[in-house]
Amino acid sequence: MDNKIKIAVNGGIGFGAKLNSKQLMTISKYMDEEDELELTTFQQLYIEILEDDKDEVIKEFESVGLKCYPVGNYVKSLRTCNFCKGEEREGMPVAKEINRRIAGKPVPFTLKVAYTGCIIGCGEPMLSDIGVMKYKDHYNLYVGGKAKGKDAEVGSLLRENLTPEELYDIVEKIIAVYAEKGKKRETFHKFLKRIGKEQLIS
């Protein structure tokens, strides 16, 4: 029997989590009438494709501007706000660069990273494992948010007034520490409680 695998797809980082009709038509080419797309809470669609077709499908998806990511214990693609105040003012290039550096990296358990272009915080960075909030010309970094469960928690500030380069370095470092020292299937929230915030970047 032909093996199927699940991949995550979205339209990349832009003004809102949108897909155009060409992208939708391209996705539907690889679906039978009874197939379903799963809409996740994380601005991704899950689609099942034949494992043997994976490279070809991803190439075609990317040719129409879709972004493809693995499903499972990886860093999710960056969740963002809608950048309503403009691309530059709200740091869209910085969000794209963060996503380029981290999305799809293997980690002990699915890791959610969110970005928001101003302190109104529509991207909900405080409820994500790692959250970035642009404030004036700099970036504040939060860790330890947990949106789910009775023990849901708001993240706390780890560093503030970061430049883009400082932000990239520290986010990559946190993910590397979690990938290295986290136990198998240990959530980032639990990991952080176990090792303590400052150990993340010591």
The window from 35-43, 59-67, 80-88, 162-170 that contacts ligand SF4 (CB under 6 A) reads 80-88
With 0-12 CB in 10 A as exposed, 13-18 as middle and 19+ as buried, what is 63? exposed
SS in 3 state form for 34-86? Answer: CCCCEECCCCCEEEEEEHHHHHHHHHHHHHCCCEEEECCCEECCCEECCCCCC
Q: Are 191 and 181 in contact (CB under 8 A)?
A: yes
The token pair that represents 58 in the structure block: 């991803």
Paired residues of 138 in beta bridges: 135
Distance between CA atoms of residues 189 and 99, nearest Å: 20
Choosing from 64, 70, 82, 147, the residue that interacts with ligand SF4 (CB under 6 A) is 82
Q: Which is nearer to ligand SF4, 123 or 182 (CB)?
A: 123
Please state the closest distance from residue 15 (CB atom) to ligand SF4, in A.
9
The DSSP symbol for 87 reads T
Please state the closest distance from residue 99 (CB atom) to ligand SF4, in A.
16
Binders of ligand SF4 among 16-55, rule CB under 6 A? none
Q: Which is nearer to ligand SF4, 82 or 110 (CB)?
A: 82
Please state the closest distance from residue 126 (CB atom) to ligand SF4, in A.
12
Please state the closest distance from residue 177 (CB atom) to ligand SF4, in A.
28
Q: Which is nearer to ligand SF4, 94 or 200 (CB)?
A: 94
Binders of ligand SF4 among 85-144, rule CB under 6 A? 85, 90, 116-118, 120-123
Helices (H), the chain: 21-29, 54-63, 92-102, 164-181, 188-195
Number of residues that bind ligand SF4 (CB under 6 A): 13
Please state the closest distance from residue 122 (CB atom) to ligand SF4, in A.
3
Indicate the residue type of 115: Y
Residues that bind ligand SF4 (CB under 6 A): 81-85, 90, 116-118, 120-123
